Structure 1
Amino acid sequence: MLVAVCSLKGSPGVTTLATALGARWPAGENPILVEADPAGGDLMARFRLTDTPSLVTLAVAARRSTDPRLLAQHAQQLPGGLRVVIGPVGAEQARSALAVLASGGCAPLRRCADQPDTTVIVDCGRVDPDSPALPIIRSSDAMLLLARPHDDELAHVALKLQEAQRWSRRPCFVLVGDGYPTREVSQVLGIPVMGRVPRDDKGAAVLGGHSNSRHSPAKSRLGREAARLATLTLAHWRAGQGNGARPPVTPPRMTVPGTPAPGEALQPLGPQTRNGTGT
């Protein structure tokens, strides 16, 4: 399974959530996190890793190998055991590596993700129509689209819903942190919200490589919500295998104040909770 995690504006914590998903992915699966942010990677500095192997070495090797194990061969291991293909710090190197990988139909990621009991989680950073990470999103089995529930970010989501609907067969909207209530955001944008990730500084610190015996991804609020999102994503993908049809699109009922209504809305990736708000 190939899961893309991205945003439309700002930095709402895509890398942190992608790392949390990998750390809390359901047992029995073998997750690999790939840092494919065109703006450059953070994980090498955050976890004090070496600069190789990396996304750059993967791109070089992909020119001459079709081995489905290639992605794993260019991964390093985080302190908690999660395998990660780190992105280069510089944007120029990151974009060059992504251009090479995209030219092959994202084959190394796709081949690895198609292996039994293997999940590839890709941090695609902020996405726009010119992003070299967009081919990865298009080839993914699920897209998690993150936004803070603030006016500026929600306005961008409202304007780009129709475009984002074309990026992935299974788009999913996830809120990050405090702001407008989940139910209100869902009603205003006409988008079922799959989940809301809390601002959790302690949990983020653990995921950032700062060891603390009193806190772990499993115990943190961030870790618990990431586990729930991971379970929903995996369950929905398994249920939908063999059925490539898109669900019908429901137009939004209203817009963020001052923002024109788009023609289409994102569809939910997983089931809603009992109160229908995703919280």
Structure 2
Amino acid sequence: MPLIAVTYVKGRPGATTTALGLAAVALEAERPVVVECDPAGGDLMRRHRLAAVPSIVDLAAAARGAASSADAFATASQTVAVAEVPVPVVVAPAGGAQTRAALPELTGSGRAALAPPDRVVVADCGRLGPGSPVWPLLRVADVVLVLARANADEVAHLREHLGELVDAGAGRLVVLLGAGGAYSATDVADVLATHVGQELARDPEAVTVLGPLPQDRRAAAVLRGELLAGRRWRRLPLMEAYARLWADLAPHLPAVTSQHDVATEATP
């Protein structure tokens, strides 16, 4: 099943919020699980008052001895409830040292440990930097989702990493713009495509730019565990944007494309 890596290179645009939001609004048949792979440490445990164990450490240990990756995830997952939706998550301890030790165990055998056959995995990879232990994970992801705001500084930092990102990814590289940027998605796409094509001599269509996400403090507070979700939580602007994002990603996630097509056709 698909593996989606969520990361960023500058600022703090909400990788954990985006990973959890994507999982919460996905189709039930996909059964996404969020895995905190941030080398700086995880946030879900404290935000949603989860237990310290099991965690990504247990996932790495279970992956070594489990008969299948599905068994390993069953051992290591906890649940975050977003209204009526139970989202399975593999948390990471704060601090990051244990996550940095666990990541080579999960990526050393390639894709197998992070891609169970029965579900989508959304990996929260945190901030991406030189020598980060999440680079091997990005190399086996179906989609690398890079969050950025459409500001001059963040776009400049992103542009400097594009060569590594394009070369590293076997899957699709998608830039998702956050709320509050100074430029449009078209402007950012033009800048990045020109850089990829002219400066890097790569295919300028290797990068897709989506967004921007709406400014939605209520939905963000729900996903951070600060506010209970109401009955109409799926209609909050940010949640609707995450649902549309699944449709945009579906062509790059073959295992889920047909499910989204059926859901779209069934919508009146």
Superposition TM-score tier, normalisation by shorter sequence: 0.7 to 0.9
Query: What does 1:191-202 correspond to in 2, within 5 Å?
Result: 192-202=208-218
Query: What does 1:209-220 correspond to in 2, within 5 Å?
Result: 209-214=225-230, 217-220=233-236
Relative distance call for 1:234 and 1:27 in structure 2 (3 A) is farther
Q: Is the 8 A contact 2:218 2:227 kept in 1?
A: no
- Measured in 1, the distance between the counterparts of 2:15 and 2:40 equals 12
Relative distance call for 1:140 and 1:109 in structure 2 (3 A) is same
TM-score under structure 1 length normalisation: 0.79
Relative distance call for 1:204 and 1:238 in structure 2 (3 A) is same
- Measured in 1, the distance between the counterparts of 2:32 and 2:166 equals 26
Matched length: 237
Q: Is the 8 A contact 1:203 1:216 kept in 2?
A: no
- 1:38-82 deviation digits (Å, cap 9, x = unpaired): 000000000000001110111122222242221132100002200
Q: Name the counterpart of 1:5.
A: 6
**Alignment RMSD, CA only?**
2.0
Q: Name the counterpart of 1:85.
A: 90
238, 245, 251: which is aligned to 1:222? 238
96, 106, 113: which is aligned to 1:108? 113
Q: Is the 8 A contact 1:20 1:217 kept in 2?
A: no
74, 91, 102: which is aligned to 1:97? 102
For 2:224, the aligned partner's letter is G
3-state SS, counterpart of residue 211 of structure 2: strand
- Measured in 2, the distance between the counterparts of 1:240 and 1:32 equals 14
Q: Name the counterpart of 2:265.
A: none
For 1:193, the aligned partner's letter is V
The alignment-based identity, stated in percent, is: 39
Q: Name the counterpart of 2:190.
A: 187
- Measured in 1, the distance between the counterparts of 2:46 and 2:99 equals 15
- Measured in 1, the distance between the counterparts of 2:53 and 2:232 equals 27
- 1:13-52 deviation digits (Å, cap 9, x = unpaired): 1111111100011242111110100000000000000001
Instruction: Name stretches of at least 5 consecutive residues in structure 2 with no aligned partner.
Output: 194-206, 258-268
Q: CA deviation at 1:239?
A: 8.4
For 1:229, the aligned partner's letter is L
Q: CA deviation at 1:198?
A: 2.0
